[in-house]
């Protein structure tokens, strides 16, 4: 699991140079499994009064980056089985969110309704 100290170390090492987002992320998460959200929905479920969209994500291991290009070895479904190894090149400017797959929640878990934010403060003891 990546810590705040790990991230600050990379930030301090990059502080003297401008580095693209993809290179920054690859420096921190190279070899790690991640999910990447580009802003698209995988599915939208509608009932009479409510419509819920579920974010679509790419999942895979970060291989590296060059400039604004983030390279992943992605997971995919083939013959109803999950497999690895589909190499995908993603323009980092299209990434809206990126999360390490470490068991501490998913990108979908990060979305809240505005009304829920008050309860977050209460639960976090602030």
Integer Cα distance of 13 and 4 in angstroms: 14
The model scores a pTM over 0.85: no
**What letter does residue 16 receive in the DSSP assignment?**
T
Residue 125's pLDDT is: 67
Averaged pLDDT score across all residues of the chain? 88
Q: What is the pLDDT of residues 29-47, one digit of tens each?
A: 999 999 999 888 877 788 8
Nearest Cα neighbor of 1 from 95, 101, 112, 74 is: 101
Helix axis angle for 4-14 and 21-29, nearest 10°, is: 140
Q: What is the pLDDT of residues 69-104, one digit of tens each?
A: 999 999 999 999 999 999 999 999 999 999 999 998
Domain boundaries, the chain: 4-123
Q: What strands lie across the sheet with 69-78, from one edge to the other?
A: 81-91, 69-78, 51-66, 33-46, 97-100
pLDDT tier for residue 56 given thresholds of 50, 70 and 90: confident
CATH topology classification for 4-123: SH3 type barrels. (2.30.30)
Q: Would you say residue 106 has pLDDT above 60?
A: yes
Q: How far is CA 67 from CA 6, 18, 35, 85, 90, in A?
A: 21, 11, 20, 22, 11
């Amino acid at each position: 699991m990546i810590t705040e100290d790990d991230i600050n170390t990379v930030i301090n090492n990059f502080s003297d140079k401008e580095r693209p987002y993809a290179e920054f992320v690859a420096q921190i998460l190279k070899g790690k499994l991640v999910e990447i959200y580009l802003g698209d929905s995988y599915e939208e479920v509608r009932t009479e009064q409510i419509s819920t969209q579920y974010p679509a994500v790419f999942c895979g291991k970060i291989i590296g980056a060059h400039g604004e290009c983030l390279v992943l070895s992605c997971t995919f479904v083939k013959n109803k089985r999950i497999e690895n190894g589909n190499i995908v090149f993603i323009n980092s400017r299209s990434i809206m969110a990126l999360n390490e797959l470490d068991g501490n929640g998913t990108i979908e878990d990060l979305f809240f309704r505005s009304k829920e934010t008050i309860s977050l403060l209460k639960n976090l003891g602030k």
